A and B are shown apart, each in its own frame.
Chain A
Amino acid sequence: MSTVLGGRYQRPDGLGKVTGAARYAADLSVPGLAHACFLYAERPHARIVKLDTARARSLPGVLAILTHEDVPPVRYGMFVKDRTLFATDVVRFEGEIVAAVAAVTPELARTARSLIEVEYEPLDPILSAEAALEADSPLVHPDWEDYAIRDGVDRRANDGGHFTTVKGDVEQGFAEADVVLREIYRTDMSHAVPIEPHAILAEWRGESVTIHSTTQVPYPARSGVAETLQMPESRVRIVVPPLGGGFGGKCDFHFEAHVAALARAAGRPVRLVFSRREEFVATDKVRHPMVIELETGAKSDGTITARRARLVLDSGAYVGDALFAAEIGLMMVTGAYRIPHVHASAHTVYTNKTPAGSVRAPGGPQVCWAVEQHTDVLAAKLGLDPRELRLRNLVREGDTGPTGQRFDHNGAVECLERATEKAGWGKPLEEDEALGIACGWWFSLPVPSGAYVKLNGDGSGSIITGAQENGSGSVMALALLAAEELGMRPEDFSITYQDTDVGPWDLGSAGSQTTINNGRAVIAAATEVREQLLELASEELEASPSDLELVDGQVQVRGASSRAVSIATLAAKAHGGALLLGRGSGLPPAVPEHDLAGCVGRLGYSAFAAPSFYCHVARVRVDRATGVVRVLEMTAAHDFGRVLNPTGAEGQVEGGVVHGVGIALLEGTAFEDGHQRNPHLLDYKLQTGADAPPINVIFVDTKTPTGFPHDAKAVGEPPVVPPAAAVANAIAAAAGARVRRLPMTPERVWSAINGESA
Chain B
Amino acid sequence: MSPRYPLSMTVNGLDWTVSITAGRSLLSVLRDELGLTGAKEGCDDSECGACMVLLDGQPVNACSYLALQADGRAVTTVEGLAAGSGKVLQEAFLSAGGVQCGFCTPGMLISAHALLERTPQPTESAVRLGLAGNLCRCTGYQKIVQAVLQAADVLAEPQTKQGES
Residues of A within 8 A of B (CB): 10-11, 13-24, 26-27, 193-197, 242-245, 247, 273, 275-276, 470-473, 647-648, 650-651, 653-659, 680-682, 686-692, 694-695
Which residues on the A side are within 8 Å of B125 (C-beta)?
690
A695 and B142 within 8 A (CB) = yes
Q: Do A659 and B103 form a contact, CB below 8 Å, given A276-B47, A690-B132, A692-B142?
A: no
With most chain B CB atoms within 10 A of its CB, the pick from A19, A193, A657 is: A19
CB distance from A37 to the nearest CB of B (A): 14
B97 and A651 within 8 A (CB) = yes
Interface assignment of B59: CB less than 8 Å from any CB of chain A: no
B127 and A689 within 8 A (CB) = yes
CB distance from B54 to the nearest CB of A (A): 13
Q: Do A195 and B140 form a contact, CB below 8 Å, given A14-B94, A20-B77, A689-B128?
A: no
In the bound complex, what is the Cα–Cα distance between A21 and B99 (angstroms)? 14
A15 and B132 within 8 A (CB) = no
Top 10 A-B residue pairs of the complex, sorted by shortest distance between their CB atoms: A20-B38, A471-B101, A17-B102, A244-B103, A654-B140, A681-B47, A658-B140, A27-B37, A20-B78, A18-B90
Q: Do A24 and B97 form a contact, CB below 8 Å, given A651-B139, A655-B139, A655-B140?
A: no
In the bound complex, what is the Cα–Cα distance between A21 and B79 (angstroms)? 7
A654 and B143 within 8 A (CB) = yes
In the bound complex, what is the Cα–Cα distance between A86 and B83 (angstroms)? 49
Q: Do A20 and B137 form a contact, CB below 8 Å, given A195-B50, A471-B102, A689-B131?
A: no
Q: Which of B38, B94, B103, B134 contacts A689 (CB 8 A)?
A: B134
Which residues on the A side are within 8 Å of B135 (C-beta)?
195, 681, 686, 688
In the bound complex, what is the Cα–Cα distance between A681 and B137 (angstroms)? 12
CB distance from B31 to the nearest CB of A (A): 7
Q: Do A196 and B101 form a contact, CB below 8 Å, given A20-B39, A654-B143, A680-B45?
A: yes
Interface assignment of B48: CB less than 8 Å from any CB of chain A: yes
B100 and A655 within 8 A (CB) = yes
With most chain B CB atoms within 10 A of its CB, the pick from A26, A195, A196, A275 is: A195
In the bound complex, what is the Cα–Cα distance between A231 and B50 (angstroms)? 38
CB distance from A298 to the nearest CB of B (A): 35
B102 and A694 within 8 A (CB) = no
In the bound complex, what is the Cα–Cα distance between A688 and B145 (angstroms)? 12
Which residues on the A side are within 8 Å of B31 (C-beta)?
27
Q: Which of A19, A276, A647 contacts B90 (CB 8 A)?
A: A19
B102 and A472 within 8 A (CB) = no
Q: Do A195 and B90 form a contact, CB below 8 Å, given A17-B102, A276-B43, A276-B47?
A: no
Q: List 13 A-B contacts (CB under 8 A).
A: A18-B90, A23-B37, A24-B103, A195-B135, A197-B42, A242-B101, A242-B102, A244-B40, A471-B100, A657-B140, A680-B45, A681-B47, A686-B135
B137 and A11 within 8 A (CB) = no
With most chain A CB atoms within 10 A of its CB, the pick from B43, B106, B133 is: B43
Please, which residue of chain A has its CB at the minimum distance from the CB of B12?
A: A20
Please, which residue of chain B has its CB at the minimum distance from the CB of A692?
A: B141
In the bound complex, what is the Cα–Cα distance between A22 and B36 (angstroms)? 11
With most chain B CB atoms within 10 A of its CB, the pick from A22, A194, A472 is: A22
Which residues on the A side are within 8 Å of B90 (C-beta)?
18-19
A195 and B136 within 8 A (CB) = yes
- Interface size classification for chain B: 35 or more
Q: Which of B42, B133, B144 contacts A195 (CB 8 A)?
A: B42
Q: Do A651 and B37 form a contact, CB below 8 Å, given A17-B105, A195-B137, A196-B42?
A: no
B103 and A245 within 8 A (CB) = yes
Of residues 105 to 159 in B, which have CB atoms within 8 Å of A's CB atoms?
A: 105-106, 109, 125, 127-129, 131-145
Which residues on the B side are within 8 Å of A694 (C-beta)?
142
Please, which residue of chain B has its CB at the minimum distance from the CB of A473?
A: B100
What does the 1/0 interface line of B71-104 toward A look like (CB < 8 Å)? 0000001110110000000100111010111111
B106 and A20 within 8 A (CB) = yes
B143 and A194 within 8 A (CB) = no
Which residues on the A side are within 8 Å of B138 (C-beta)?
245, 471-472, 651, 655
In the bound complex, what is the Cα–Cα distance between A275 and B41 (angstroms)? 9
With most chain B CB atoms within 10 A of its CB, the pick from A10, A655, A656, A694 is: A655
CB distance from A273 to the nearest CB of B (A): 8
In the bound complex, what is the Cα–Cα distance between A194 and B140 (angstroms)? 13
Please, which residue of chain B has its CB at the minimum distance from the CB of A23?
A: B37
In the bound complex, what is the Cα–Cα distance between A655 and B144 (angstroms)? 11
In the bound complex, what is the Cα–Cα distance between A681 and B95 (angstroms)? 30
Please, which residue of chain B has its CB at the minimum distance from the CB of A472?
A: B100
Please, which residue of chain A has its CB at the minimum distance from the CB of B109?
A: A18
B103 and A194 within 8 A (CB) = yes
With most chain A CB atoms within 10 A of its CB, the pick from B38, B39, B93, B137 is: B137
Which residues on the A side are within 8 Å of B131 (C-beta)?
688-690
Which residues on the B side are within 8 Å of A16 (C-beta)?
102
In the bound complex, what is the Cα–Cα distance between A653 and B42 (angstroms)? 24
Q: Which of A19, A193, A244 contacts B78 (CB 8 A)?
A: A19
B77 and A650 within 8 A (CB) = no
In the bound complex, what is the Cα–Cα distance between A276 and B137 (angstroms)? 14
Please, which residue of chain B has its CB at the minimum distance from the CB of A645?
A: B97
In the bound complex, what is the Cα–Cα distance between A316 and B127 (angstroms)? 41
A20 and B47 within 8 A (CB) = no
In the bound complex, what is the Cα–Cα distance between A193 and B50 (angstroms)? 13
Which residues on the B side are within 8 Å of A686 (C-beta)?
135, 137
Which residues on the A side are within 8 Å of B102 (C-beta)?
13-14, 16-18, 22, 242, 244, 471
A658 and B103 within 8 A (CB) = no
B101 and A194 within 8 A (CB) = yes
Please, which residue of chain B has its CB at the minimum distance from the CB of A246?
A: B101
Please, which residue of chain B has its CB at the minimum distance from the CB of A18?
A: B90
Please, which residue of chain B has its CB at the minimum distance from the CB of A660?
A: B140
Q: Which of A14, A193, A275, A691 contacts B99 (CB 8 A)?
A: A14
In the bound complex, what is the Cα–Cα distance between A337 and B90 (angstroms)? 45
CB distance from A433 to the nearest CB of B (A): 18
Of residues 3 to 29 in B, which have CB atoms within 8 Å of A's CB atoms?
A: none
Besides the known contacts A275-B44, A654-B139, A655-B137, 8 further A-B residue pairs in the complex with CB atoms under 8 A apart: A11-B94, A19-B78, A20-B106, A197-B42, A245-B103, A471-B138, A650-B143, A651-B97
B140 and A18 within 8 A (CB) = no
Which residues on the A side are within 8 Å of B81 (C-beta)?
19-20
Please, which residue of chain B has its CB at the minimum distance from the CB of A646?
A: B97
Which residues on the B side are within 8 Å of A687 (C-beta)?
141
B39 and A689 within 8 A (CB) = no
CB distance from B89 to the nearest CB of A (A): 8
In the bound complex, what is the Cα–Cα distance between A135 and B95 (angstroms)? 59
Q: Do A276 and B44 form a contact, CB below 8 Å, given A17-B102, A245-B103?
A: yes
A680 and B141 within 8 A (CB) = no
Q: Do A10 and B37 form a contact, CB below 8 Å, given A656-B140, A681-B47?
A: no
In the bound complex, what is the Cα–Cα distance between A244 and B133 (angstroms)? 18
Q: Do A195 and B142 form a contact, CB below 8 Å, given A245-B101, A686-B135?
A: no
In the bound complex, what is the Cα–Cα distance between A16 and B101 (angstroms)? 11
B144 and A651 within 8 A (CB) = no
With most chain A CB atoms within 10 A of its CB, the pick from B50, B94, B100 is: B100
Q: Which of A15, A275, A689 contacts B141 (CB 8 A)?
A: A689
In the bound complex, what is the Cα–Cα distance between A276 and B64 (angstroms)? 14
In the bound complex, what is the Cα–Cα distance between A651 and B104 (angstroms)? 15
Which residues on the B side are within 8 Å of A681 (C-beta)?
43, 45, 47-48, 135
CB distance from B75 to the nearest CB of A (A): 13
Which residues on the B side are within 8 Å of A692 (C-beta)?
128, 140-142
Q: Which of B105, B109, B142 contacts A654 (CB 8 A)?
A: B142
Q: Which of A20, A470, A648, A682 contacts B101 (CB 8 A)?
A: A470
Which residues on the A side are within 8 Å of B129 (C-beta)?
689-690
